[in-house]
Amino acid sequence: MDHFIVPNWPAPANVLALSTTRNGVAGFAGASVAPFASFNLGDHVNDNAASVEKNRSALIAACDGLNSISWLNQVHGVDVCDASLIESPSDFDASIIRDKSRACAVLTADCLPVLFCRVDGGAVAAAHAGWRGLCAGVLLNTVKAFDCPPQELMAWIGPAISAPHFEVGAEVYQAFIANFGAVSAERIAQAFTPSPQKAGHFYADLNALASAQLQSLGLAWVGSSNICTYANADRFYSFRRDGQTGRQLSLIYIK
């Protein structure tokens, strides 16, 4: 799995998780051409459909024991589905599964991909969290979907945009102060650095906000890749950096 970003976490051996890069898998760099070069996995960005399908097939073939991926139509919402019941993309931003060999997955190009598993390996989940979904509770809903104490879960945050490259207006800061569950106003404020150039603007640390929420819930383990999609153009797609671009995928499954 040298071509993938793999969580360094204490997950059970039957749980496999990874984030892709734009550079493909071993022996296959990807079929997409600029501006989607090369291993774009998003089918909604105006890339050639046949190229996307080749990339998706190569990904499944490169993952040990993986038979299929449950694809979502992500809408920056908070709804969680049972991935075993999804036969075609539906409007959800997170999924959970207890079956083997089928992956929960989310596409990103700056938003947070957050992967979850039970400490006993009995269930896994994936959540897509842009600032709107994060603030509104998509991670809270994903934790609830496991129907177990949070202390029986762990979570890993994959590659996403970092604070120095994510400038937002005051309305984003105020939305988190008003609505972000399980996190104190002090911890929220620590994740927003005032912009020295623009009054009323902030640099928002989505990674820190998500970590704070998951830690406040009492998960057994919370960690992050600490990799910035914006700052690593040779490895990752970034919508804020490039506009029209591809998508990387973060997935998790029970082998």
Burial of 240 from C-beta contacts in 10 A (0-12 / 13-18 / 19+): middle
Give the whole-angstrom CA distance, residue 153 versus residue 177: 26
Burial of 16 from C-beta contacts in 10 A (0-12 / 13-18 / 19+): buried
**pLDDT tens sequence for the chain (255 residues):** 468 999 999 999 999 999 999 999 999 999 999 999 999 999 999 999 999 999 999 999 999 999 999 999 999 999 999 999 988 888 999 999 999 999 999 999 999 999 999 999 999 999 999 999 999 999 999 999 999 999 999 999 999 999 999 999 999 999 999 999 999 999 999 999 999 999 999 999 999 999 999 999 999 999 999 999 999 999 999 999 999 999 999 999 999
Q: Helices (DSSP H) in 47-202: which residue ranges?
A: 49-62, 131-136, 138-145, 170-179, 185-190
Residues 6+ apart with CB under 8 A from 147: none
Contact 32, 52 (CB under 8 A): yes
**What is the set of domains in the chain, with CATH numbers?**
15-159+219-254 (3.60.140.10)
Helix-then-strand count for the chain, H and E: 7, 13
Nearest to 52 by CA among 62, 43, 61: 43
Question: pTM for this one?
Answer: 0.97
- The first and second tokens of residue 252, run together, are 């998790």
Give the whole-angstrom CA distance, residue 94 versus residue 142: 7
